[in-house]
Structure 1
Amino acid sequence: MDFLELSGKYVVVFGLANKKSVACAIAQVLTLAGARLIQVVRSEERAATARRLFPESLVFCCDVAEEANILRVRDEIAAVLNGSRIDGLAHAIAFANYAGGIRPFHATAKADFLQAMDISCFSFISIANHFRDLLAPTASVLTISISTTRMAAENYGYMAPIKAALESSLCFLAKSFSGFSEVRFNAVCPGLLKTSASAGIPGYIDSYLFAEKATLRKRALSTMEAANAAAFLLSPRSSGITGQCLVVDAGMGMNYFDREIVNGANR
C-alpha cells in the first residue's frame, strides 16, 4: 500500500553532504516510498557521494550562497522535468562558522551572522521563489530547524536566532503562495542528532549526551526518525498542515526536571 502517496512523484532534496546527513535520511525514506528523487548538493564531490548512495536519482550541483546558482539549477531541473511538476521540496541546508570557537552571543561577528543567515535561512526563501513555477499546485515545501529556538545553548550561539527566522518565514511563505496555489510550507524540528554537520559545533558531544538523558526513553533521537516525519510532511497525507513546526525530540523538551538529571546536578 502506498500510504504516503509519493510513488512516482518528483521530490527535490537540497543538502546531502554524506551518508550521515539529514538530507540523506530523507532521501532514503522517499526512495522507499517510490518517489522520483532529485538531489541538489553543493559540490561535485558531494554529487559523487549522492550518486553512489542513490544511483537511481538525478543529481545537480548548486552552492546556494550565490543566487545565480539557484536560478541555474532551477532551469536544469526544469529541462529534465519536461513539463512535469515537483510535488515535494526539502531544504536541509545550514552553515555557521564556528572556526573561532565558542564566543559570547554579544560578540558574534557580523560577517558570520550574515553569512549564516544567507545560507541557512534566505536560501529557503530564494529556492521557494525561484522554483514556484515548477511546483505542483498542492506541493509541499519543507525545511529543517531545531527543537527549540528559545533556549540559549551557548555552544550553538547565533544559529538559534537564525533558525527562529527560518521558522518565522514559514507562515509568510505559506501566506504569499496562497494567492496562487495551495503549496504548503512546514519544518521538522528535531532534537540533537548525530550528524557530521553537528559534530562541527563546539562541545556538541556533551550536549548530545545530555539530550539523550533528557529524552523520556533515555535513548537518543535517530536521524531516520526526523526523516520519517519529513516524509510525512512532504506527502499528501499532511495536506491540512501548513506554516507549522513539527517538533521531533522524543520528549526531551518536556523532561528538563527528570529525576536522574536533577539528582546528578544536586550532588
Structure 2
Amino acid sequence: MSDFLKLSGKTFVVTGVANRKSIAWKIAEMLEGEGAKVVYVVRSQARKESLTKLLSGGEVHICDVEHEEEIAALPSKIAANHQVIDGLVHSIAFADYSEGMRPFHETTKKQFLQAVDISCFSLVALSNALKELFAPNASVVTISISTTRMASENYGFMAPIKAALDSSLAFLAKSFSQFSQVRFNAVGPSLLKTSASAGIPGYVDAYLFAEQAIPRKQALQTEEAASVAVFLLSPRSSGIQAQNLTVDAGMSINYFDRDIIERTMNK
C-alpha cells in the first residue's frame, strides 16, 4: 500500500451510517481500505444493532444529536479507546415531510427548527464536544448539496438548511483557528441514489432528470462523492479550508442541453 493519502493508522469518527447505500458507509469503507480506523456513531440502539451486523467487530456508539446530553457524553465514550481523532464525518440530516411536500412559505416553525437542529447545528455541537480529542490538524467533513440556490420543490425546505450548514464551515474554521489547524469542509454532491433520498417525495423523478442533464448521461455515483470526502479528510487536502466542493459530474453546466430543450418544447 503506497498510502498516498497518508491515512494509514489514523482514526476517524463517522456519523450517519444507515445501511450499505449510505454515503457515510462508502466513506468509512474507503477509509478502512486506506488503513484507517473508523469509529461509528449512530442515532439509536436499533441503528447500532443493524450496523453491527454489517461490521466485523467495529466500534459503534449511540448519539442522538437532538439530545444535548448524548452529545456531551460522546467524547468520553470515544476517549475510552482513542486518545486522538484525526477527523470527523458529519453525515446527518433530517427533514419532516410526513405530511407531504408543501410550498416553502407553508413550512412550519417546528419543521424548520428541527431540521436546522439535526442537519446543521449538530455539526457545531459535535465539533465543539470533540475538540479536545481532535488532532491539531484534524479534518471535519460534512455532506451538503451541490447548490442551495436551486429552488427545487421536491427538496422541500432543506436547501436553506444546507445553506446554513455551508456558512457554518467558515465560522467554525475561523473560531477553531484560535487554537488549532482543524479544517472544516463539505462535499456537495448532486442527486444520489441512497435510502434517505428515496424517502423524499418526487426525488426519483428528479434523479432521472439528473441523468439526462449530466453530460455523460449517468447520475453521480455515491462512491464518487465519497472519494472526494476521503480526499478532504486526508492531509493531501491541507490547503482546502471552509469550502463546499461541488461533485455533480457536470450537471450544473448542462441545464440547457439541446436534447432536453427539444424534448421539453415538443411535448
Q: TM-score, normalised by structure 2?
A: 0.98
- 1:94 & 1:50 partners in 2: Cα distance? 18
| Partner deviation per Cα, 1:120-177 (whole Å, 9 max, x = no partner) | 0000000011100000000000100000000100111210000000000000000000
Q: Which secondary structure does the structure 1 equivalent of 2:236 belong to? A: helix
5+ residue gaps, structure 1, are: none
User: How much does 1:56 deviate?
Assistant: 4.0
Query: Counterparts of 1:24-35 in structure 2 under 5 Å?
Result: 24-35=25-36
Partner of 2:132: 133
User: How much does 1:75 deviate?
Assistant: 1.1
- 1:116 & 1:151 partners in 2: Cα distance? 18
Q: Which secondary structure does the structure 1 equivalent of 2:155 belong to? A: coil
Partner of 1:234: 233
Partner of 1:16: 17
- 2:260 & 2:108 partners in 1: Cα distance? 34
Partner of 1:109: 108
Matched, 1:78 2:79: yes
Partner of 2:170: 171
For the 8 Å contact 1:8–1:35, the answer to whether it is kept is: yes
For the 8 Å contact 1:36–1:57, the answer to whether it is kept is: no
Matched, 1:152 2:151: yes
User: How much does 1:218 deviate?
Assistant: 0.4
5+ residue gaps, structure 2, are: none
Partner of 1:199: 198
Matched, 1:262 2:261: yes
Letter in 1 for 2:53: R
Letter in 1 for 2:101: I
Q: Which secondary structure does the structure 1 equivalent of 2:81 belong to? A: helix
- 1:227 & 1:52 partners in 2: Cα distance? 22
- 2:38 & 2:129 partners in 1: Cα distance? 19
- 1:53 & 1:228 partners in 2: Cα distance? 21
User: How much does 1:50 deviate?
Assistant: 2.1
Q: TM-score, normalised by structure 1?
A: 0.98
User: How much does 1:186 deviate?
Assistant: 0.0
- 1:124 & 1:266 partners in 2: Cα distance? 44
Identity %: 61
User: How much does 1:44 deviate?
Assistant: 1.6
- 2:13 & 2:226 partners in 1: Cα distance? 14
Letter in 2 for 1:123: S
- 1:258 & 1:54 partners in 2: Cα distance? 44
User: How much does 1:32 deviate?
Assistant: 0.5
- 1:242 & 1:86 partners in 2: Cα distance? 18
User: How much does 1:220 deviate?
Assistant: 1.0
Partner of 2:218: 219
Q: Which secondary structure does the structure 2 equivalent of 1:137 belong to? A: strand
| Partner deviation per Cα, 1:75-125 (whole Å, 9 max, x = no partner) | 1001111xx211111000000001111100000011000000000000000
User: How much does 1:53 deviate?
Assistant: 2.2
Q: Which secondary structure does the structure 2 equivalent of 1:192 belong to? A: coil
The root-mean-square deviation of aligned C-alpha atoms, in Å, is 0.8
Q: Which secondary structure does the structure 2 equivalent of 1:230 belong to? A: helix
